[in-house]
Amino acid sequence: MEPRESLIAVALVISLAINIPQLVHTYRSHEVAGFSRYTILLRIASHACWVAYAAMVLNLWILATATVGVAGEFALLVLTYAFETHDQDGSGDTAIVYRCSARDAVSSRTSQPA
């Protein structure tokens, strides 16, 4: 393998793994308050452009990586909606609303410092 090909392989592996720590942390902690949905949407658009480019030039490495990128960013976007917090009664307490449940919306009350 040429040095250039080795660098490409390393970059692609990193690209494939880049969202895994954030997805795991978000899934476990349900913390999404600091996420910008607009940024996530821009990253989805960027990855989608790479998917289109890879399909045009028939580059399977870029196609696979960009497709995983779209999927990872989309999963993160879903989690931002699934674990969205709301101050339902103006008391400063927030409820984490689990919208992904098959049952009716379930809320878990958490208290936030004033």
Domains contained in the chain, CATH given: 3-83 (1.20.1280.290), 85-114 (no CATH)
Q: What is the pTM of this model?
A: 0.66
**Contact present, 94 and 86 (Cβ < 8 Å):** yes
**Contact present, 70 and 44 (Cβ < 8 Å):** yes
State residue 108 phi and psi, 5-degree precision.
Answer: -120, 120
Residue owning tokens 């960009």: 66
List per-block mean pLDDT (blocks of 10 residues) for the chain, which spans 114 residues: 79 82 86 86 94 94 88 91 65 50 42 49
